[in-house]
Structures are given as structure tokens and as C-alpha cells.
Structure 1
Amino acid sequence: MTDKLIIFDTTLRDGEQSPGASMTKDEKIRIAKALEKLGVDVIEAGFPVASQGDFEAVQAVANTIKESTVCGLARALDKDIDRAAEALKGANSSRIHTFIATSAIHMEHKLRMSPQQVVEQAVKAVKRARQYTDNVEFSAEDAGRSDIDFLCRIIEAAIDAGANTINIPDTVGYTLPNHFGQLIYKLRERIPNSDKAIFSVHCHNDLGLAVANSLSAVMNGARQVECTINGLGERAGNAALEEIVMGVGTRKDAFDCETDLNTTEILNCSRLVSNITGFPVQPNKAIVGANAFAHESGIHQDGVLKHRETYEIMRAEDVGWGANKMVLGKHSGRNAFRTHLEGLGIELNSEEELNRAFRRFKDLADKKHEIYDEDLQALVTDTLATESEQIKLVALKVCSEIGEKPHAHITLNVKGVEKTVASEGSGPVDATFKAIETLVKSDCNLLLYSVNNITDGSDAQGDVSVRLDQNGYVVNGQGADTDIVIASAKAYLNALNKLLTPALRKHPQTAAI
């Protein structure tokens, strides 16, 4: 018999803390449904007290998801715990995840509390959370830099108070695999009531060791790993779910536990998260990168052809590669289109949304001979993003020729009024962005401009990501089209529309207690 390793996905909470990665309620629901289809055990949907938008998103996910446990984050404060409980009321299975910092540097400089006060606050928080649910997780923030004697003390008290999951976060990505594994082992050995709780880990990737630290912890008795799709997260990110799951599944000789995820949905989740957040997946990214199962070397190719396992330690099909081609074409009907979307886990909220997406599908089918599942993900994201935009692209004409300065002529619908302007630039994209700014006057800085092809071929859609900063508020924008300049305009406008309706959020790691 092997133990079950619980997969706790925090893409919707910690992943969203990546600069510009904020998601709308509908986007969170789309990702949550994909995570449920993947078979994730716990979905941390957000930080309900942070904003009304975050509260509503957690509430919507809780009311939608049926198979996975839905979790809300709360500081060790009554108001946070009460707000999380309210957001989670509609969940089939809920969890409140409360935390307080335990390292000396955090207690002294951030919390300005004594160790005894921190213990008392933690116990109080766990007991309050237990009034709402019997599934309570306690996290010792910055545990990787905390004194082990104090950790033993506060964890024992938290378990006595009713916490049945104890999370040991490497909040700043400071620890090393052997040290972190030993920390988990020692805590489980030294804490008298450790057998009454599942030990969990949450590792950040500042030194590139998040997955290694997590797996070391699993080898030393941790039975929950907190992770994100594509390793998304603040700073250098979190432990990547796909690497944790396939690491444990591939090296059964090294692990005495297993997950029960449907791993064939990993690639679909990866693409969806990348598409919604605008964070592209690097080609050489393990498991989900475009080159993850590609073999360039002749020696490697020869070996794989003779016997796959000479150079492949897992099957590409097991994580979702190899079945991405769409069987629909420009003659396909709405019902076939809807059915295929449902097969991808995409459920639109109304007939009007379906009609808009279907019209875009028909337009794309006229431009592109072969349409792939990735195209559909981008198409739906683009359709939903433009539904409530205050600034919409009406027309765009650009001219770029050798020896002449590129210029763009653009028409926008700004809050119901059409406006037209022309502008020059160093290239067609630059000219387009300057034309948009002439009309909108957002006074924002362009931090990032990135273009990636969604599928192979010269007729592929370009997926453009932009990152804008307006007085310290950072947003990402995305746009997809077979025309790169049009995709760029869509991405820029998508970001501007987010700036017009900002969902300001508190940062749970830095918010003052």
C-alpha cells in the first residue's frame, strides 16, 4: 500500500500574485473547472478579505466546483476567517487556510509581536476557523527561516486547537533540498501530536529549488504539496504542479506515495493558465514546454525510434501531448462546436457568449486551414475578454515599407463613441500603440511586449502579451490573431481595459497583521 499525496493547487491565489496576473471571476471559474477535471484535491481559490472582487471569485468557485475541496486563505484574524467562511458557504467541500509568520525577522519587523503572542493568535485563529469547518489548515509563514523549537511549539498548539493540515512554507525560497527534507522529518518526529495532522509544504522558486525542496519534503513524510500550474507565482514562482505530479509518478521507486490525478489534462491546464494570465511557457519547460518531448540529436532520434525509453522517461501522451488537432472546420455547425468546447472543459455561460465565440471561430476558420485546441482556448479567452470592454478596436490599417516610416490608422470605440487617429512609429506595432495612446492618454509604461505562436505553421495565430504599469498598478493584456499587429492592438487594449476597472488587491504575504 502507498500513501496518497494530496495536490493543493494555488494557481488562483498565489499564482495570481504574479505581477499583472490578476484574473476575473469568470477566468477563475474556467481555470477551476480545468483543475477539477485534472483531479486536483484542493483548489485555493483566493484571499476573500483582500477585495470584494476576490470574495466574489472565491464564492463563485465554491458554488461551481463539486469534486475538489475549495479553500480560502485568511490571515490569523477574525475578520479574515469570517470573510473566508462566508465566501465558502456554497462549497460541497471547504477548507479555511489561516496563517501567521513564525520567523524572528517577520515577528519582530512585520508583526511586531512576541513569540507568545504569535502562538496565542494562531490558536485563536484555528479555533475560530473550526467553528465553520472541520477542514482547517494552518501555515507557519516563513517556516524555512524559523527556529525549529518555536515551530514545534506553535504547530503542536495549532494541532491541539483543531488544525488537521500543517503547512511548512519556504516563503522566500531560501532552503536547500536536504535541509528542507530534514526539517519536515524532525518536525514530524519531535511534535507529540504530529500524527493527528497531514504535513504540507509550499515552496517558492527564488533559487530554482521549489520542486526539489517539495519532493525532498515528500520523501521525508509530507503528504500534501502546494503548487501551481506552470510554476506561476510571485517573484520567481512556486513549485510547478506538473513537475511534482510527474516526478512522483515517474519515480515510483523513490516515493512511497502517489497522486490520483488525470495527468492527460496537464497540458490543457497549462495552456489555459498561460492563455488567461499572459505568461507564456518557455519551450524548454519540463513536461509542458514545446520542446519537452522533442529530439534534435540524431543519436537521440535513433534511440527513441528503436526503443522509446532510451531517451524518454515518460510518455508524451500521459500529460496530454499528441491529441491536439481539432476535427472541426469552417463547415461545422454550432452544436459540434459547443460539444468540442465541452470536451475541452469550456462551458460558456449563455447562448449569446456561444454565438459570439462561434462567429469568431468561423472567421478564424476562413483564415486558417487547421484549427487546434490551443486556438480554441485563445479564441474563447479573447471572446470573453472583449465582452465588457470600454475601449474596443473597430478598425486598423498599418503601412510598413522599406525606406518609409511605418504608420498606423486606427479607429476605436471609446465608451460608445468612435474615434479615429493616425500615428507614426519605429515599426507597425509601435505606430499602433502610439495611435492608441493618442486617443486614450493612459500615461502608462509598457513593461513587456511578447509574441508567441499558438500553433505551428506560418498561418498560426500570434499570441501577444503586453504588461502595462500605471502608477504602480501592473496589468497584463493578451490578444490573439493571425495578424500580429492586430493581435498586438488587442493585447494593448485588453490591458488598458483592465486599468480602467482595476481590482485592487491586498497582498496576503505583506499585509500587516
Structure 2
Amino acid sequence: MATLFLNHPTFSPTTPSSKIPTSLNPTNPLLLFSKSSNFSYNKSIKCSLSQTRPEYIPNKIPDPNYVRIFDTTLRDGEQSPGATMTSKEKLDVARQLSKLGVDIIEAGFPASSNDDLEAVKIIAKEVGNAIDDDGHVPVICGLARCNKADIDAAWEAVKYAKRPRIHTFIATSEIHLKYKLRKSREEVIAIAKEMVGYAGSLGCNDVEFSPEDAGRSDREYLYEVLEAVIKAGETTLNIPDTVGYTLPTEFGKLIADIKLNTPGIDNVIISTHCQNDLGLSTANTIAGAYAGARQLEVTINGIGERAGNASLEEVVMAIRCRGKELLGGLHTGVNTRHIVMASKMVAEFTGSTKA
């Protein structure tokens, strides 16, 4: 069987040791095949069938090979120039995302405007309570900066959903600390810890935290921040490559190192959020999943700020078609028959030409 791995001597894949090649070919820094494999390059690609979606528990997944799909089309995707949608269009997209079977819908940034707050609230009430025939209902998530006003607005919008989530963030890279936040490392840790705890105190038992610009953050400091928010009660740690700067080898190692060095990491879900500035968002996302991330943040058609985000259709189909043979059995709950309709709908509503 062909084997996927990342060419880094300290990379820690999650696949069984029997599937890890004994030698590395340094000529290819991305995805390699074992020459000893009996994989036939001429045979047609066969995509694996969807598997059962495990019970939703905020901070753990009963099936270790299941990957949650977090769609942020309605939040990060809408930051694409000219991609603004009406409240009705957002609701229609949210309904399609639910039909698609995504696990989490980041419905917006409620503190950004009253219109966005109301749109997220409607989605939480209607889509966030519509249980399908298989018993699935998506988590409805609202984004918030690490301050009480933002978190209050997010909770006001998402609290009507059966499964509400608050996603809060603060920057951790030196360049952001110095020029954007103008705060010390210690101040940022204190803020992150306090605000994650505050989100939980409102009654939200599903809190996601993102250290903005994690890909360029000092590694030891990043571990400190993540340990602090884990202790404060967050359930998902999202690791963003905010400016799309890392290569797959780097991003895979970042996820592996976080798994290895962050106290309490086994009690939360690791997520990825990869931007596409260097055209590597999908590759980085798959590298992160292979290294142990079990939530992947994506958008329909890959739309988003600047060069965009990791594309849902690319990430999901890569896992669907290659997850069993090359990614240690990874799978998602996405019903791929609904991808085309979702793509066309988002393209029409946003004016995107990617569909």
C-alpha cells in the first residue's frame, strides 16, 4: 500500500508504525510514495464510502479517525472582496451546509454589526435546531475577539442553537504582539485565559480558541498560551496559518509538536485554519490532519480574505479518495453528493467564478 508521510525527521504521524516507511527520500519535501509499495499508478482512483458520524462531544471524538469539518464560508469566506451576502442568502447557504453534513458552521462575526448578529441568530434558531433523518444537527459558531463585548454578542447570537459554540481569538506572534496588540506575552496569556473562562461562564460548554498567526509564533510561547486556555476550559484549539506562510512540512510539524509538548492537549480537539497566500492551504490542511488535527476549517470554493482559504471540496475529496490508503483511515461526515449545489450557490451569491 502506498504510504503518505512528511519529510521531517521529528514529524510524528498518527498512522500505525507498520505503515511508516523506514527511509525518507529528501528530494521531495511534500508527499512521497514508498517505492516498496505495491500501489498501481495506473489503476483508477476509487473513493471510499462515507462512514458513520460519531456522537458529538465538544472536546473529544469517539472515533479517532473521524475528522470534523468546520465551514467558515459565512464568516471568513464573506471577507473575500465583494462576497457580502444578504441575511436570506446566508440562511440559504447555512441550510445547504447542513444538508452537506458539515459538523460546524461558523455563521458570522456577531460583534461586527447588528445585521451580522441577527443573521447568526436566525441561523442558530432555524438551522441549529433542524435535526436530519440521521440525527445530525450542526454546531452553530460565532467568532469573537478576546473581549467581553465580542463574546457577549457571539453568545447572544448562537445560544439559540442546539449546539452553540463561541470561537475567540487573540494574536500570539511577535510581530502581532508588538505592532498590532502592543501587549506583552504575559498580558496576552492573561487575556486569553480570562476570556475563554468568561465564554464558559455564560453557559457555553463548547469554546474554541485560536492563537492568531500561530504559524509564525514562538513555539515555546505558543505552548504556554495553549496550556493556559486548556486549563480555562476551551474545547477546541484552532491553529491558524493566518498569513498563509508555512509549507506542508512546517505545518505538519507544528501540529505534531503541539500534540507532543502542550500539557492537557489530549483533552481537546486540535483544528487547522490555513490561508492560501502561497497556494498551499489544502496541502497544509491535509498535512495537519495527518499529524493529528481532527477539525479542519474550510470554505466553499476556497473563498476568503486575500488569496482565500482551504477549499472544502478539495479537502473533503482528498480525504474521501485517499484517506483510507494514505491517511491512516481518516474520514468525514460530509455527503459529497451535495458539494456541487453548495459550490454553485456560493458562487452565485458572492459573485465568485470558482464554481
TM over 0.5: yes
- The structure in which a higher percent of residues are strand is 1
Q: How does 1:182-221 map to 2 (within 5 A)?
A: 182-221=253-292
Partner residue, 1:176: 247
Percent identity of paired positions between Structure 1 and Structure 2:
52
Q: Name the aligned partner's letter for residue 190 of structure 2.
A: E
How far apart, in 1, do the equivalents of 2:251 and 2:159 lie? 36
Query: Larger relative CO (CA 8 A, sep 6+): 1 or 2?
Result: 2
Question: CA contact under 8 A between 1:94 and 1:135: conserved in structure 2?
Answer: yes
How far apart, in 2, do the equivalents of 1:175 and 1:240 lie? 17
Partner residue, 1:21: 83
Partner residue, 2:146: 76
Partner residue, 2:220: 149
SS for the counterpart of 1:156 is helix
| 1:255 partnered with 2:317 | no
> 1:210 Cα deviation (Å)?
0.2
SS for the counterpart of 2:316 is helix
How far apart, in 2, do the equivalents of 1:89 and 1:136 lie? 12
How far apart, in 2, do the equivalents of 1:15 and 1:68 lie? 18
How far apart, in 2, do the equivalents of 1:162 and 1:22 lie? 34
Question: CA contact under 8 A between 1:22 and 1:277: conserved in structure 2?
Answer: yes
How far apart, in 2, do the equivalents of 1:103 and 1:34 lie? 36
How far apart, in 1, do the equivalents of 2:316 and 2:290 lie? 14
Q: Which runs of 5+ in 1 are unaligned?
A: 282-288, 290-513
Match of 2:192 among 103, 122, 131: 122
Q: How does 1:94-493 map to 2 (within 5 A)?
A: 94-131=164-201, 132-251=203-322, 252-256=324-328, 257-281=330-354
State the Cα deviation string for residues 209-267 of structure 1 (Å, max 9, x = none).
00000000111000000000000101000000011101011002112321011110000
> 1:159 Cα deviation (Å)?
0.4
State the Cα deviation string for residues 396-433 of structure 1 (Å, max 9, x = none).
xxxxxxxxxxxxxxxxxxxxxxxxxxxxxxxxxxxxxx
Partner residue, 1:478: none
> 1:2 Cα deviation (Å)?
5.2
| 1:33 partnered with 2:95 | yes
How far apart, in 2, do the equivalents of 1:242 and 1:2 lie? 22
How far apart, in 2, do the equivalents of 1:249 and 1:277 lie? 27
Q: Name the aligned partner's letter for residue 172 of structure 2.
A: T
Q: Let me know the Cα RMSD of the aligned residues.
A: 0.9
Question: CA contact under 8 A between 1:13 and 1:46: conserved in structure 2?
Answer: yes
Q: Name the aligned partner's letter for residue 267 of structure 1.
A: V
How far apart, in 2, do the equivalents of 1:183 and 1:2 lie? 20
Question: CA contact under 8 A between 1:2 and 1:258: conserved in structure 2?
Answer: no
How far apart, in 1, do the equivalents of 2:239 and 2:316 lie? 19
State the Cα deviation string for residues 313-368 of structure 1 (Å, max 9, x = none).
xxxxxxxxxxxxxxxxxxxxxxxxxxxxxxxxxxxxxxxxxxxxxxxxxxxxxxxx
Structure 1 segments of 4 or more deviating over 2 A? none
Question: CA contact under 8 A between 1:88 and 1:94: conserved in structure 2?
Answer: yes
State the Cα deviation string for residues 149-200 of structure 1 (Å, max 9, x = none).
0110000000010011000000000000001000100011011211011000
Question: CA contact under 8 A between 1:169 and 1:201: conserved in structure 2?
Answer: yes
Structure number with bigger Rg? 1
How far apart, in 2, do the equivalents of 1:69 and 1:149 lie? 32
TM-score for the superposition, normalised by structure 1: 0.54
SS for the counterpart of 2:326 is coil
> 1:58 Cα deviation (Å)?
0.6
Aligned residue pairs, count: 282
TM-score for the superposition, normalised by structure 2: 0.78
How far apart, in 1, do the equivalents of 2:234 and 2:326 lie? 29
Q: Name the aligned partner's letter for residue 135 of structure 1.
A: D
How far apart, in 1, do the equivalents of 2:163 and 2:235 lie? 15
Q: Name the aligned partner's letter for residue 204 of structure 1.
A: Q
> 1:54 Cα deviation (Å)?
0.7
How far apart, in 2, do the equivalents of 1:244 and 1:98 lie? 24
| 1:46 partnered with 2:108 | yes
Q: Name the aligned partner's letter for residue 142 of structure 2.
A: G
Q: Which runs of 5+ in 2 are unaligned?
A: 1-62, 130-136
SS for the counterpart of 1:133 is coil
